[in-house]
C-alpha cells in the first residue's frame, strides 16, 4: 500500500531517516506540500502521514483510495477526524514522545526570564563590562526561584515533568486539580486556575486547547497576576489572547512572558507579541530535540505497521 508523507522536513531534516518506514512498503516523502499540490501528491495513496498539512472534509472526499492517516504529532486538529470516521478511516497520532524535551525548554524559558542570560551575554559582547566602573553589573534583576510558587495549568505528563524540575531549586508547586484521583504528586498543592494566576510567581500552561478554553488567558485574568510574575506558554498559542498579553506587558501588570507557540504559525509580522516588552519568543521548538524526533518516528512506524496488520493503535477517532 502506497504511503505518502506530506510534510516530513521537520521530523527528518537530515538526521532522522525514514528507513524503517520504507521497509514497510512504497513511501514517497515530501518536505512540504502546498495546498495546490496536495491532491496530486496524495492521489492513489492508501496511507497519508501529515504534520501540519490540513486534511479537511473536502480533501478527504477527493481521496477514494485513502485508508489510514497518521499525524506526525500529538495534536490532530489538522485532520477532520469526524469525516474520516464516517469513511471508516482510522486516524492515529503520537501521544507520547516529547515530555522531557518540552519540560526542559519550558524551564529554559523560566530561567531566561529569571536570569536574563541572553541579555547579559549580548551586553558583555557589546563592551558594557569592559566599560563598567565596577567589577560586575546587571541590566535586569536576577530572580531567585527558591521559595517561589510555580503554578501549573495542566498536570499531565509534561506539567508534572516541569513541576519536578521546578521543585529542584526549592519552588512550591501548585497545579490545577486532576480528574484522576491521586494523580497529583505528594507535596504539591491543587489550586484553581484563578488562584494560580492570582498568587503564583511563575504560571506555566500545559493544557490542551479546546473550544472551551481558547483565549482564556485574557485581559481580565492577566490583570490578577502579580506585577513580579512570569507567564510561560509551551502548550498552544490559542490559549492566550495575544493582544491582551501585549497590553498587560506594556502596562507592567506582569514582569515578563515567554512563549514557544503563537495563535498562527509561523508568526506574522503583525503579531503584537513581537513588539511587547519583556516577551521572549521561540519558534515552536520545545518538541524538537533529536531524541524526541526519533521517538516520534518510532511510534509513527509502529502506527503504520499496526494498521497494515489490521489492528490500528493510537487511534483518535471512532471508526
Q: Which three cell numbers stand for residue 213?
A: 478554553
First to last CA, the chain: 20
Distance of CA 295 to the CA centre of its chain: 16
Contact between 64 and 46 under an 8 Å Cβ cutoff? The reply is no
List the Cα angle 215/157/154 in 5-degree steps: 30
Strand order in the sheet with 27-29: 27-29, 3-5, 47-50, 68-71, 91-92
Among the listed residues 284, 294, 302, 305, the single catalytic one is: 284
CA-based nearest residue to 202, from 225, 223, 184: 225
Q: Catalytic: 164? A: no
Residue 178 has a pLDDT of 85
Query: Is 233 exposed, middle or buried (CB count within 10 Å of its CB: 0-12, 13-18, 19+)?
Result: buried
**Cα gap 277→275, rounded to integer Å:** 6
- pLDDT tens series, the chain, 319 aa: 999 999 999 999 999 999 999 999 999 999 999 999 999 999 999 999 999 999 999 999 999 999 999 999 999 999 999 999 999 999 999 999 999 999 999 999 999 999 999 999 999 999 999 999 999 999 999 999 999 999 999 999 999 999 999 999 999 999 999 887 778 999 999 999 999 999 999 999 999 999 999 999 999 999 999 999 999 999 999 999 999 999 999 999 999 999 999 999 999 999 999 999 999 999 999 999 999 999 999 999 999 999 999 999 999 998 8
Is 144 tagged catalytic?
A: no
Same fold, 3-97+290-308 and 99-281: yes
d(C-alpha 305, C-alpha 58), whole Å: 27
58 is catalytic: no
| pTM for the predicted model, two decimal places | 0.94
* 123 phi, psi to nearest 5 deg: -65, -45
- Identify the active-site residue in 22, 250, 265, 291: 265
Q: Spot the catalytic one: 120, 206, 236, 293.
A: 236
DSSP structure string for the chain: --EEESS-TTT-SSSS--HHHHTTS-EEE-S---HHHHHHHHTT-SEEEESSS-B-HHHHHT-TT--EEEESSS--TTB-HHHHHHTT--EE---SS-HHHHHHHHHHHHHHHHH-HHHHHHHHHTTHHHH-SSS---SSPPPP-TT-EEEEE--SHHHHHHHHHHHTTT-EEEEPPPSSTT-SPTT-EE--HHHHHHH-SEEEE-----TTTTT-B-HHHHTTS-TT-EEEE-S-GGGB-HHHHHHHHHTTSSSEEEES--SSSSPPTT-GGGG-TTEEE--S-TT--HHHHHHHHHHHHHHHHHHHTT---SB-S--
Whole-number Å distance between alpha carbons of 277 and 235? 21
Q: Domain ranges in the chain?
A: 3-97+290-308, 99-281
Quick one: pLDDT at residue 319? Answer: 85
- CATH class belonging to 3-97+290-308: alpha beta
User: CATH classification of 99-281 is 3.40.50.720, yes or no?
Assistant: yes
For cell 508568526, name the residue: 267
The predicted structure's pLDDT at residue 174? 98
Amino acid at each position: 500500500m502506497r504511503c505518502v508523507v506530506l510534510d516530513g522536513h521537520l521530523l527528518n531534516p537530515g538526521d532522522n531517516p525514514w528507513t524503517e518506514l520504507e521497509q514497510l512498503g512504497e513511501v514517497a516523502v515530501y518536505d512540504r506540500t502546498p495546498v495546490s499540490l496536495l491532491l496530486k501528491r496524495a492521489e492513489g495513496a492508501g496511507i497519508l502521514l501529515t504534520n501540519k498539512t490540513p486534511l479537511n472534509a473536502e480533501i478527504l472526499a477527493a481521496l477514494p483510495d485513502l485508508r489510514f492517516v497518521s499525524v506526525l504529532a500529538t495534536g490532530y486538529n489538522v485532520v477532520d477526524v469526524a469525516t474520516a470516521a464516517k469513511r471508516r478511516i482510522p486516524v492515529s497520532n503520537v501521544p507520547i514522545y516529547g515530555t522531557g524535551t518540552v519540560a526542559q525548554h519550558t524551564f529554559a524559558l523560566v530561567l531566561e526570564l529569571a536570569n536574563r542570560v541572553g541579555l547579559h551575554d549580548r551586553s558583555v559582547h557589546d563592551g558594557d563590562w569592559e566599560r563598567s566602573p565596577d567589577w560586575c553589573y546587571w541590566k535586569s534583576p536576577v530572580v531567585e526561584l527558591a521559595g517561589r510558587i510555580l503554578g501549573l495549568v495542566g498536570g499531565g505528563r509534561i506539567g508534572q515533568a516541569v513541576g519536578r524540575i521546578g521543585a529542584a531549586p526549592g519552588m512550591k508547586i501548585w497545579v490545577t486539580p486532576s480528574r484522576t484521583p491521586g494523580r497529583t504528586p505528594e507535596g504539591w498543592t491543587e489550586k484553581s486556575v484563578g488562584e494560580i494566576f492570582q498568587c503564583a510567581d511563575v504560571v506555566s500552561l500545559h493544557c490542551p486547547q479546546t473550544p472551551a478554553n481558547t483565549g482564556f488567558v485574557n485581559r481580565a485574568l492577566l490583570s490578577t497576576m502579580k506585577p513580579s510574575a512570569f507567564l510561560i506558554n509551551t502548550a498552544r498559542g490559542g490559549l492566550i489572547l495575544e493582544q491582551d498579553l501585549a497590553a498587560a506587558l506594556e502596562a507592567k501588570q506582569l514582569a515578563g512572558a515567554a512563549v514557544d507557540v503563537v495563535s498562527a504559525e509561523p508568526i506574522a509580522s503583525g503579531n503584537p507579541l513581537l513588539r511587547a516588552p519583556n516577551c521572549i519568543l521561540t519558534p515552536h521548538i520545545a518538541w524538537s530535540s533529536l531524541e524526541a524526533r526519533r521517538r516520534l518516528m518510532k511510534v509513527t512506524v509502529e502506527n503504520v505497521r499496526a494498521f497494515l496488520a489490521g489492528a490500528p493503535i493510537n487511534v483518535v477517532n471512532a471508526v
